[in-house]
Structure 1
């Protein structure tokens, strides 16, 4: 999985945990809803500044958006 997909999945997962819509996140991060949608789909390549803005909007650290999730065996 490439880093854009990792970031996108993390943004989507955390946004849903916070019960935020894409529109609300876009407002908080000063981005468009279309940008958030593309980011979550792994189609956008965010800058470091954008990662910081998203992290702030989601109340996490920027490195939380870059972490690969470990698979848990059941």
Structure 2
């Protein structure tokens, strides 16, 4: 799996673990809901700044977006 796919999978997992919809996450992070969907579908690549904003909302360290699942 490529890095974009790893980020997409981890973003979806972390969002579900917090019980947030894409819309709720986007609203709390101050970004467009469609953007979250595009990240989760690997249609777009997030900047480091954007991952930091999302991580704050998810109350996680941004490094968690890059962890490979075993």
TM-score (norm 1): 0.89
Q: Which has the larger radius of gyration?
A: 1
Aligned length: 70
Q: Which residue of structure 1 lines up, in the alignment, with residue 57 of structure 2?
A: 57
- Equivalent positions of 1:1-74 (< 5 A) are 1-70=1-70
Deviations 1:17-70 (A, max 9, x none): 111010000011111110000001111111110010011011000000111111
Q: Which runs of 4+ in 1 moved over 6 A?
A: none
TM-score (norm 2): 0.94
Structure 1 alignment gaps of length 5 or more: none
Structure having the larger proportion of residues in helix: 2
Structure 2 alignment gaps of length 5 or more: none
1-side partners of 2:49 and 2:5: how far apart?
18
